[in-house]
């Protein structure tokens, strides 16, 4: 029995030796190619880390600055325009994916409460901003964020070309909400104009 076990162990060691030699040969001859292939696959196989829970967005009122900005693509507010029965979610970001879900917040602009230009945008579809033409100066726009409520009063409305970015200026002297959509409201094909509603902070 002992002899059988001994012979078996020796032959298993020989098998392992063969494996070792083959692995060394693979490493020597194809090592670089294998490393490159693994690197290539791992470029499309990102490990998803468990992101710790997003901390609550707050506002430092003394400095008019947000603490813990909302994550890109997340909903952080709702916009209400009673005059045209609008009550829509506002997402931080302005990609087409975001605009499909509601109103987008241009990432280059300030947040409500920060005392600067806030730029929101939405499609001119029936469920979003098609009824913008019914708005009048003095109508209210209410933005309810996770950290507070802000009411703005419309003081101007303009039709601008899509290239006229100067009509949506970024500044930090006065809190202005600029909400725009494509114009004409019922167009066919690509709309080259934008209908911009300007509102200033009331409370």
Partner 1 sequence: MKVLINILKFILSIILVIAISILIFANLATSTILSKEYVLNKFEETGYYTKIKEQVQSNFENYIGPSGFDENVMENIVSEEKIKNDTQTIILNIYEGTNTKIDTEEIKNNLRKNIENSLENKKLNITQQNAINQFIEKICSEYTQTISHTQYETSIYNALNKINKIIEIAKKISIIAIVILIVVILIINYKNIIKAISQIGISLTANGVLYIIMKLFLNSKISIENIQIINDAVSEIIRKMLMNILDSITNYGIIFLIFGIILIIVSNVISNRKYMDEK
User: One symbol per residue from 34 to 73: x for binding partner 1 (CB under 8 A), - otherwise; what is it?
Assistant: ----x--xx-xxxxx-------------------------
Give the per-residue SS3 of the chain: CHHHHHHHHHHHHHHHHHHHHHHHHHHHHHHHHHHHHHHHHHHCCCCCCCCCCCCCCEEECCCCEEECCCCCCCEEEEEEEHHHCEEEEEEEECCHHHHHHCEEECCCCCCCCCCCEEEEECCCCCCCCHHHHHCCCCCEEEEEECCEEEEEEEEEEEEEECCCHHHCCCCCCCCEEEEEEEECCCCCCCCCEEEEEEEEECC
Residue placing its CB nearer to partner 1 in the complex, 22 or 67: 22
23 scored as a contact of partner 1 (CB under 8 A)? yes
Nearer to partner 1, 111 or 183 (CB): 183
Q: If binding is defined by CB under 8 A, does position 188 make contact with partner 1?
A: yes
Asked if 15 interacts with partner 1 (CB under 8 A), we say yes
Residue ranges that bind partner 1, judged by CB under 8 A = 3-4, 7-8, 11-12, 14-16, 18-19, 21-23, 38, 41-42, 44-48, 96-97, 99-100, 123-127, 182, 184-191
């Amino acid at each position: 029995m002992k002899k059988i076990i001994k012979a078996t162990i020796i032959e298993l060691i020989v098998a392992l030796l063969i494996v070792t030699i083959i692995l060394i040969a693979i490493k020597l001859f194809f090592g670089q190619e294998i490393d490159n292939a693994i690197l290539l696959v791992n470029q499309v196989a990102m490990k998803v880390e468990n992101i710790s829970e997003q901390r609550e967005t707050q506002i430092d009122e003394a400095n008019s600055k947000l603490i813990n900005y909302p994550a890109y693509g997340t909903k952080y507010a709702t916009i209400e325009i009673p005059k045209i029965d609008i009550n829509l979610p506002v997402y931080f970001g302005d990609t087409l994916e975001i605009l499909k879900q509601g109103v987008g917040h241009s990432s280059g602009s300030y947040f409500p409460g920060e005392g600067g230009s806030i730029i929101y945008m939405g499609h001119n579809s029936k469920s979003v901003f098609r009824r913008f033409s019914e708005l009048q100066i003095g109508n209210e726009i209410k933005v309810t964020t996770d950290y507070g409520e802000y009411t703005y009063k419309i003081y101007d409305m303009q039709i601008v070309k899509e290239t006229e970015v100067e009509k949506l200026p970024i500044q930090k002297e006065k809190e202005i909400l600029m909400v725009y959509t494509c114009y004409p409201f019922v167009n066919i094909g690509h709309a080259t104009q934008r209908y911009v509603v300007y509102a200033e902070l009331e409370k």
